[in-house]
Structure 1
Amino acid sequence: MTETKTIGRDDVLGAEKALNEVVIGQAEAIRLILVSVLCRGHVLLAGDVGTGKTTLLRAVARALGGPYARIEGTVDLLPSDLLYSAHIDEDGRPRIEPGPVLSQGTDLSIFFFNEINRARPQVHALLLRLMAERTVTAFRREHAFPHLQVFADRNRIERDETFELPAAARDRFMMEIPVDAPADPVARMDLAFDRRYHDTDSLIAEVKTGLLPYDGLPALAGTLQEEVHASDALRRYVFALCEAVRDPAAAGLDIEGIDPARLVRGGISPRGMQALVRAARVAAWIEGRDAVLPQDVRRVFQPVIAHRTFLTPAAEPRRETLVPALMRAAFEAVPVPAT
């Protein structure tokens, strides 16, 4: 039996460097994905078409190694399509084979759901159980996937034949991470003219498989949550930020263009606060510290909290501008504790 490799900070930084060498202009997205991975959290990427969301997730999956499965979101996708596939064999007999979730066995490491918002709510319901419990029931028995992390992406341009993720499914993602075109003009020019970036399969193959062995992640994730601590002042800061986002009117937030009392319909749940604390601890550890600082919280706050903040129907169409404005207002209103 192969011994599980112990993962250290140098391994994480090495994987980060390797990913930045093949997916250029996405350093912040890569760091946030690694934070999620080290929290054993599921990851949702959101961005325009063609910004490299799929390439980035495939590259991270390769860095983790382990069994990998993928499905494409389509409007006609059924929940059963995740579990089994039916076809006629060469003898003309019907056969049922395991679908993508079951095809790799219980060691399934990454389940990649491409364009998740094209799938219907029934599919999201099954995915919710897989994400929440890391189990599914199929072929008359329960299948457990202890190493599973769900990676998904959605484009935010098209609205035809797409379905908004239900609140419960959104809440199960550790982070929703924006992936935009690189801000650096040189990076955009390289992506356009350097042939190295035109062959996605060859590019991803440059990432060494298993830089962060998937079967070593649970032990490391537990260790980080035990060894990285937060002061009482930091705890009060996190609580105040979350309360400000939950009830911006009571916190006296000033958000241009909207009455704060009519902005938020559902605020941050205890599970959301737990996710924020876990992510901040990992962010601090990657920076080489054993204590969480305010900048760690602020770095992960929006990716962890934004998709868990539910707006009123009148405000929802302006989510992409109002939620960041809400986060900025909370940062400005809540005093940063002395470190």
Structure 2
Amino acid sequence: MTSLEKMPIDPQLDDTQLADMISTHLTNAITETSRIIYGQQEEIKQIIASILSGGHALLVGAPGLGKTKLVSTLATVMGLSAKRVQFTPDLMPADITGSEILDEDAQGKRSFRFIPGPAFCQLLMADEINRASPRTQSALLQAMQEKYISIAGKDYPLPAPFHVLATQNPIEQEGTYPLPEAQLDRFMVQVNLTYPDQTTEKAMLLATTGANESQAQQIITSDTLVKAQSLVRRLPIGENLVDSILRLVRNARPETSEDPFIQQNIAWGPGSRAAQALMLLVRARALLNGRLAPNQEDLIALAPAVLRHRIALTFTARAENIQLDDILKNLLNKAI
């Protein structure tokens, strides 16, 4: 498999040619990642689409589903420098962002020197983000939004591109600090990882317990990723699809929906950031699938990941065991 590092992109290419070349290599990146991570191809596409859109992703899944392996594999395949932080209750903001230390040179002169923390990378895995205190969570989420870190009145820009893939365990909630709604909204998508089917799990067992375990290979470079992110914003999007996105998001809000079912069962709905995310993600998915323009299928595929962490059910809905996924399907049917 050929890497883009060996085949640099010609700066003279027009957007159509550039999209064709990038799409080919993104397909190879998905194939390479799926070769290491079994049974999660659609989830891999969602995560890569969020990275192409310049966003961050929240990965939710039970222990043992390969969340850490998935992040490290994506970092290798996409040519990104990566670091991992295990979030714990005693983790401090400086453990992520870095801190200043008092340094002394050979002449005895003292000065403060900044020691960068693990956030100074291109792909940061925030493992079990809901186990750290709200103060520590806020330090990371501020860096995600601002793309720089402020220490002692000085701003230190983070590397470009900079993306966070945070994980949560949906089973163990004791001793956790759930992310507030405003902070959840900073994640472009919430990707739910599920157990593989029996055939896939058997293939995974045979492949990962032998003498030689497969290692991921780099397919693209960070410079190419930046070009792809810029291209995503230039891809055209039809007015009908824009209207569908707008209808979907507005119908999911009890304040702007005319559906009594929504008004009764949704406590609060998605903000405009959800619509912005969908506008970018559908174009990113189109590029992943070798198309220059997104369509309604892209919206159907991505809407649940964009909306599921931006909608809260009412007490009545929870008491009646109404499932959010069923509401999302209903909203999509009416929006398209």
User: Structure 2: any 5+ residue segments left out of the alignment?
Assistant: 10-20, 102-112
Question: 2:189 is matched with which residue: 171, 175, 183?
Answer: 175
Identity %: 25
What's the offset of the Cα at 1:248?
8.8
Give the conservation status (yes or no) of the 8 Å contact 2:250–2:256. Answer: no
Q: CA deviation at 1:63?
A: 1.3
Write the distance in 2 (CA, Å) between the matches of 1:206 and 1:264: 45
- How many Å separate the matches in 2 of 1:237 and 1:307? 20
Report what 1:51 is aligned to: 65
User: Does the C-alpha gap of structure 1 residues 316 and 72 become closer, same or farther in structure 2, counting only changes over 3 Å?
Assistant: farther
Alignment of 1:106-185 (within 5 A): 108-138=121-151, 140-145=153-158, 146-182=160-196, 184-185=197-198
State the Cα distance separating 1:303 from its structure 2 match: 0.5
Which residue of 2 is the match for residue 197 of structure 1? 208
The answer for the alignment partner of 1:92 in structure 2 is none
Q: Distance in 2 between matches of 1:185 and 1:174?
A: 31
Q: Which residue of 2 aligns with 1:208?
A: 217
Secondary structure of 2:323's counterpart equals helix
Q: Quick one: distance in 2 between partners of 1:317 and 1:57?
A: 36
Q: Structure 2 vs 1, CA of residues 207 and 162 (structure 1 numbering), >3 Å: closer, same or farther?
A: same
Deviation, structure 1 residue 305: 1.6
Name the CA distance, whole Å, in 2 between partners of 1:58 and 1:10.
Answer: 22
Q: Which structure 1 segments of 5+ residues have no match?
A: 88-94, 103-107, 254-258
TM-aligned CA distance change 1:150 to 1:247, over 3 Å? same
Instruction: Look up the SS of the partner of 2:220 in the other structure.
Output: coil
1-structure distance, mates of 2:8, 2:307 = 32
Could you tell me which residue of structure 1 aligns to residue 288 of structure 2? 286
Corresponding residue SS for 1:290: coil
* Partner residue, 1:326: 327
Q: Is the 8 A contact 1:249 1:260 kept in 2?
A: no
1:173-215 alpha-carbon deviations (Å, 9 max, x no partner): 1111011111x211122334x2x3248xx75x62113x22123
Q: 1:239 matched to which residue of 2?
A: 246
Which residue is 1:263 aligned to? Answer: 265
**What do you get for the CA RMSD once the two structures are aligned?**
2.8
Q: How many residues align?
A: 309
CA contact (8 A) 1:68 1:109 kept: yes
The TM-score, its normalising length taken from structure 1, stands at 0.82
State the SS of the aligned residue for 1:307: coil
CA distance in 2 between partners of 1:4 and 1:127 (Å): 35
After superposition, give the CA deviation of every residue in 1:221-244 in whole Å (9 maximum; x if it has no partner): 1212212x2222222222111122
